[in-house]
Amino acid sequence: MVESKKRIIMLADCQSFYASVEKAAHPEYKDEPLVVSGDPARRSGIILAACPLAKEYGVTTAERLGDALRKCPHLVVVRPRMAEYIRVSLHITEIYQSFTDLVEPYSIDEQHLDVTGSLRLFGTPDQIARRIQNRVKQETGVYVRVGISDCKVLSKMACDIFAKKKPGGIFTLEREKLSETLWPKPVHEMFMVGSRMTRHLYKMGIHTIGDLAQTPLPRLTKRWGVNGEVLWRIARGMDSSPVTPHSQLQQQKGVGHQMTLPRDYTDWKELRVVLLELCEAVGRRCREKGLMGFVVSVGCQGADFDHPTGFSRQMKLPDPTNITDEIYAAACQLFQRHWNGLPVRKVGIALSDLRPDSLVQLTLFGNRDRKRDLERATDDIKSKFGETAILRASSLQASGQARDRSLRIGGHYK
């Protein structure tokens, strides 16, 4: 029997990615504390990324810009440029792919690499990691930290818990030494353990990752079911999932879009304009992917996070669809049924229970083929000439957000 070859899996993480891209583009800010923040004028002044110098002043990701400026009055604030970050991220992916074809994106600034088959070409795991670091730094100005182990979950923790705190930014987490390296660490540092779960684990007398790894599995599954086993397996470094390029696209369960509004909306006439725009965005994305869905979901939130308001509801349609008007009709029905009239700051629409749009249900009433042809024509116009080349008249009202949204990626200006 031939022994299977030990895998060499890396998790490469870009330090303060957005901030690093901006510092590379603006050498004059090299020695200045810099943050990338959303637009304060639209109440989205949240820190998206802070460089290491800004973090020395106590500035943290996701805090309000005003709070960050109180900590560091001379903070350099840069508006996000999402199109540039995506371009740099794709460039970094190409660098990774020059070392292995097994590259799986985890987020815009984190990716897994399986370099098991690359060792003869590029050297030891440490040498490969160093070469990756040097190339990314030279070509993009971004500093990459690399965690190395024999599976994805351990390489993730090797990066987050060790490599990020190590001067060289590279750390190998060996399975044989978990009891000496990983297990003594506080349980709140473990991947997938947040503050709420930490409190629950403390109440059970579990304070370290080792405590969790050595807890009898039935005790955890009795408390949390399958999630208890997931935590137990992570603590023990049990993860056989392969590094799979494009795996996130293959596992898509739904298509959704949400929007934070520039002010509180309290009038149904205003809200239905935004709902229609969101339904059109969701419908178009489904049509581009060749998908349609059975389940329409609608949700909204108020602006006061200390006293949350809103709802999230869904309904199943008699036939799957990707037609904007049909999604919109269901969304309006759900919204009017469950909205209590309180101010709305965020709205979201999603279509799920997806299937290929090649399977079309014929209907005796209505003309779905004509609607599909019309929407495909408007999709083509937008693809060729831009999102605002053709708009519904309702989007020209003051409550419409389509024109402003066309200037953004992921809610931030391009």
Residue list for the binding site for Mg(2+):
13, 109
- Local structure of 151: helix, strand or coil: coil
Residue 110 annotated among the catalytic residues of the structure: yes
Give the residue from 83, 182, 80, 92 showing the smallest Cα distance to 144.
92
Please state, in angstroms and rounded to a whole number, the distance separating the CA atoms of residues 95 and 89. Answer: 10
Q: What pairs with residue 144 in β-bridges? A: 14
Structure tokens at 133: 């670091």
Give the residue from 339, 349, 342, 338 showing the smallest Cα distance to 265.
342
Q: DSSP letter string over 67-117?
A: HHHHH-TT-EEE---HHHHHHHHHHHHHHHHTT-S-EEEEETTEEEEE-GG
Interior angle at CA 181, CA 178 and CA 186, nearest 5: 105
Quick check: 198 and 187 in contact, CB under 8 A? yes
Q: What pairs with residue 313 in β-bridges? A: 298
Which residues participate in the annotated binding site?
Answer: 13, 109
Query: How distant is the alpha carbon of residue 99 from its chain centre?
Result: 25
Tokens 């992916």 found at: 93
Q: Residue 150 contacts by C-beta under 8 Å, 6 or more apart in sequence?
A: 6, 7, 8, 9, 175
Give the residue from 181, 179, 186 showing the smallest Cα distance to 171.
181
Beta-carbon neighbour count of residue 326 at 10 Å? 20
Residue 109 burial class via C-beta count within 10 angstroms: exposed 0-12, middle 13-18, buried 19 and up:
buried
**What ranges in 339-409 are assigned the alpha helix state H?**
368-385, 402-405
Structure tokens at 278: 């969101």
Please state, in angstroms and rounded to a whole number, the distance separating the CA atoms of residues 329 and 297. Answer: 12
Quick check: 262 and 403 in contact, CB under 8 A? no
Which one is catalytic: 22, 104, 110, 375? 110
Q: What pairs with residue 208 in β-bridges? A: 186
Catalytic residues: 110
